Amino acid sequence: MAAETVLNIEWYSDKKAVENGDPGMCHSYIGSLATVFNYRNGDLDPAWLMGVSGFAFRININEVFCPSAFSIFSFDKVLPEAVEQMGYQCEYISRLWDQTDREEEKRAEAHDKIVGWINNGVPAVSWDVAEVEWGLVTGYDDKKELYTTLTCKGEMSTLPYNRLGRNGIDILAVNIPGKKNNRSRDEIILNSLKTVVDHAEQREWTERPQYQNGFAGYDLWALNFEKWKILLDAGKGPNLPKELPAFSKFYAGMYYGARFYAGEYLEAISNNDSMLKQASVAYKETAAHLKPLWDFFKNSGFPDGANCGNFAECIRKARRSEEIGVEYIKEHIFSRESK
């Protein structure tokens, strides 16, 4: 029987963003990675993590603003690549919906990896440690058969061994940044820029048509507000989902925060390249167009018809700005690969 715990670890928060009233990094997977990398290396640059992982540039929208949109992408392709893009090999163990016959096998494999890396002082990023969100496994106790966990709300908790991968949502996904890989800075940056284009043009999977990503995600986001404006103007507000303000806050925080980091990342990697500088300007404009949604929903209740109309227009302006940014990124990639 053995027990071990990673000591003195706290959930990462972008203090500068918080001080400015901005949402910071809202996606719990990226928040989990940020916590691990900051714990291991200190002095994390959130814009770099958001940029190289591609999460600064992703948008996944559901037709009724369900927060599940944040997780409807290819776990196997996106999650380990985010770790590799930070310069680390990813210990990735997963079991998805159609692999119930491998539940015990995959849980045992994940447990062995978790224990091994915790013994080396490295926590594991795991799906659904609490509240259908990503968090960290920070310790284990064989006698009690309990993991120690850190939730995305920064709370310490526990998880029974046999609940790993079946703690409400029946998916196992464990990601551990292991040894350093050999990706160069130039390779990492180029990979990230190609991810921008692939996502914008819907070459990253999502479950359509209920969910849309890339530019089409903006269209669905705006369309939702336009439909709700019609209902509100017709006096049918009671027909709208009561969760609308809370869900809208999630979306506004997620994507305004992401595009803020996108602008910062592109500026940081531009290195006097005019196309990347222009892309940075375009993404900063994208963030500016989305900021009114965050400013409203972070404190307010139900919108009225005029609000919904304004939000739809803000989103469509954001899409147009992002289109400009993506075109500059395409030009940069073409120029770089033509040399």
- Predicted pLDDT at 125: 98
Render pLDDT for 45-86 as a digit per residue (tens, 0 to 9).
Answer: 999 999 999 999 999 999 989 989 999 999 999 999 999 999
Cβ atoms of residues 40 and 155 within 8 Å: no
Confidence of residue 1 (pLDDT cuts 50, 70, 90): low
Overall size of the chain counted in residues: 339
Task: Please give the average per-residue pLDDT across 254-283, as a whole number.
Answer: 97
CA 222/CA 314 separation, integer angstroms: 8
Residue 257: CB atoms within 10 A of its CB come to 26
Spans of all domains in the chain: 3-44+88-180, 186-338
CA 213/CA 72 separation, integer angstroms: 10
Render pLDDT for 136-187 as a digit per residue (tens, 0 to 9).
Answer: 999 999 999 999 999 999 999 999 999 999 998 889 999 999 999 999 999 9
Instruction: Output 211 or 239, whichever has higher pLDDT.
Output: 211
DSSP 114-157: HHHHHTTT--EEEEEEETTEEEEEEEEETTTTEEEEE-TTS-EE
Q: Is the pLDDT of residue 307 over 90?
A: yes
Q: Is the pLDDT of residue 98 over 80?
A: no
